[in-house]
C-alpha cells in the first residue's frame, strides 16, 4: 500500500495550442480540467496501473467538490478532510515545440484542525497496512511546514517507509526527521548542497567539464548521507539518479519529443514506488527494477497532453538503461 498525502491539491486546467504570442488573444486547441497535486498525480498513476494506493488530502468549496468528483470518476481511492476554504485552481499552457508553462495559484492557509484530522486518517491507514509507504508530496500551505516531518515520524512509529517530495522550509524540516526517501528535481537537489544547477552550460556541464549526471549523483550521495536515506532525483531528459548508502545509479530512456512535461516527476516517483512498494526493503528489485520503471513511467508521462493518462500503459521499461556509477 502506498499512502499519498497532498497538502495543497488543486484543479489543473491545461490548455494546448499550436502557438502562443504574448500580448494578444491566443486560441487554445483543447482545454482539460484534471484533479491535481503531486500526491494526487502519484496515486492516479498507481491506481491506473492496479497498484494499491490511497490519496489523502484536504478539500474545500466548489473546487474541492469538483476535484473529488474527478477522482471518483477516475477510480482513484481517496480520503478527504473537508474545510470551508476553497481548493485552488492551477493553469498549464502546453504549446507545441516549447517548454510547458505552469502558473500555480497560492496554497491557502488552512486551520490547524485540518492537519490534526489528516494525521489521524494517515495513522489509521498505516495501522491497517503494515509495511506501507507514506509519501508527502507537493507544496505545503503557510503554517504547515511541520506536516512532512510529522508524517515521517508517524510512519516510523508504524514501521512504514516514508518519502517526501517538497521544498522550502517543509523540506528542511523533513530532512531533519530523516525520511527513507526524498525525490527532488536536479535544481532542488543542487540547492540542498549549496550549488546552482542553473549555472551549468547548455550541455549540462560545469566549468570543470563534469556532466549533470555525475554532478547530480555526487549531490545525491551527499544528501543521502545527511538523511541516512535514499535520494531519487529527476534530471529531465537526462533521466534520473538514485543514491543510498550502498552507492549511486543512473537510469535513462531513449529520447522523445515531449508533449507536456508537467507531472512527469510525479509519474517517475509513482513508477519507483510501484515496484519498491511491493518488495521488502533491500530486495534487489526495489532498486534496479524500481529505477527502470520510474524512468519509463516518467518518460511515458511526457508523451501525453495532461496528467491523467495511464503512464504505465505507455511505458517501455525494457528500453531504460540502468548503470551503477563510480
CA distances, 305 to each of 174, 178, 256 (Å): 32, 36, 14
Whether 165 is catalytic is: no
- Decide: residue 238, CB within 10 A, 0-12 exposed, 13-18 middle, 19+ buried: middle
CA angle 253, 249, 321 (to 5 degrees): 25
Q: Which three cell numbers stand for residue 312?
A: 504505465
* Closest of 257, 244, 258 to residue 288, by C-alpha: 244
| φ, ψ for residue 267, nearest 5 deg | -65, -40
CA distances, 33 to each of 12, 63, 70, 305 (Å): 5, 11, 9, 12
The residue assigned the cell 486546467 is 13
Q: Tell me, letter by letter, the H, E, C secondary structure of 60-123.
A: EHHHHHHHHHHHHHCCCCEEEEEECCCCEEEEEEEECCCCCEEECCCCCCCCHHHHHHHHHHHH
Contacts 24+ apart (CB under 8 A), 286-289: 287/242, 287/249, 288/249, 288/322, 289/317
CB 204 within 8 A of CB 238: yes
How many CB atoms are located within 10 Å of the residue 205 CB? 14
How many CB atoms are located within 10 Å of the residue 183 CB? 29
Candidate list 201, 266, 310, 316, residue with the active-site label? 266
Whole-angstrom Cα distance, residue 178 to residue 74? 34
Whole-angstrom Cα distance, residue 156 to residue 203? 41
Whole-angstrom Cα distance, residue 119 to residue 57? 10
Active site residues: 266
Amino acid at each position: 500500500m502506498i499512502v499519498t498525502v497532498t497538502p495543497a491539491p488543486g484543479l489543473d486546467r491545461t490548455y494546448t495550442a499550436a502557438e502562443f504570442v504574448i500580448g494578444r488573444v491566443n486560441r487554445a486547441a483543447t482545454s482539460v480540467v484534471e484533479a491535481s497535486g503531486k500526491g494526487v498525480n502519484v496515486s492516479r498513476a498507481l491506481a491506473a496501473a492496479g497498484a494499491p494506493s490511497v490519496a489523502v488530502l484536504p478539500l474545500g468549496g466548489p473546487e474541492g467538490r469538483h476535484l473529488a468528483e474527478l477522482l471518483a470518476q477516475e477510480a482513484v481511492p481517496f480520503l478527504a478532510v473537508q474545510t470551508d476554504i476553497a481548493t485552488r485552481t492551477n493553469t498549464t499552457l502546453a504549446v507545441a515545440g516549447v517548454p510547458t508553462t505552469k502558473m500555480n495559484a497560492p496554497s491557502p492557509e488552512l486551520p490547524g484542525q485540518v492537519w490534526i484530522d489528516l494525521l489521524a486518517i494517515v495513522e489509521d491507514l498505516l495501522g491497517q497496512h503494515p509495511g506501507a509507504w507514506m509519501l508527502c508530496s507537493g507544496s505545503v500551505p503557510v503554517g504547515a511546514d511541520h506536516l512532512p516531518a510529522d508524517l515521517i515520524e508517524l510512519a516510523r512509529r508504524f514501521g512504514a517507509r516514508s518519502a517526501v517530495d517538497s521544498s522550502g522550509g517543509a523540506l528542511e524540516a523533513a530532512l531533519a526527521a530523516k525520511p527513507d526517501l526524498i525525490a527532488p528535481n536536479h535544481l532542488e537537489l543542487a540547492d540542498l548542497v549549496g550549488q546552482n544547477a542553473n549555472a551549468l552550460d547548455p550541455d549540462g556541464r560545469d566549468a570543470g567539464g563534469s556532466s549533470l549526471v555525475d554532478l547530480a549523483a555526487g549531490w545525491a550521495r551527499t544528501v543521502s548521507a545527511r538523511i541516512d536515506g535514499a535520494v531519487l532525483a529527476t534530471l529531465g531528459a537526462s533521466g534520473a539518479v538514485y543514491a543510498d548508502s550502498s552507492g549511486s545509479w543512473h537510469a535513462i530512456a531513449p529520447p522523445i519529443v515531449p508533449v507536456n512535461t508537467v507531472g512527469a516527476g510525479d509519474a517517475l516517483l509513482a513508477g519507483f514506488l510501484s515496484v519498491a512498494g511491493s518488495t521488502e526493503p533491500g530486495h534487489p528489485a526495489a532498486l534496479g527494477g524500481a529505477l527502470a520503471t520510474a524512468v519509463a513511467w516518467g518518460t511515458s508521462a511526457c508523451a501525453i497532453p495532461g496528467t491523467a493518462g495511464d503512464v504505465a500503459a505507455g511505458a517501455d521499461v525494457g528500453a531504460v538503461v540502468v548503470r551503477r556509477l563510480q
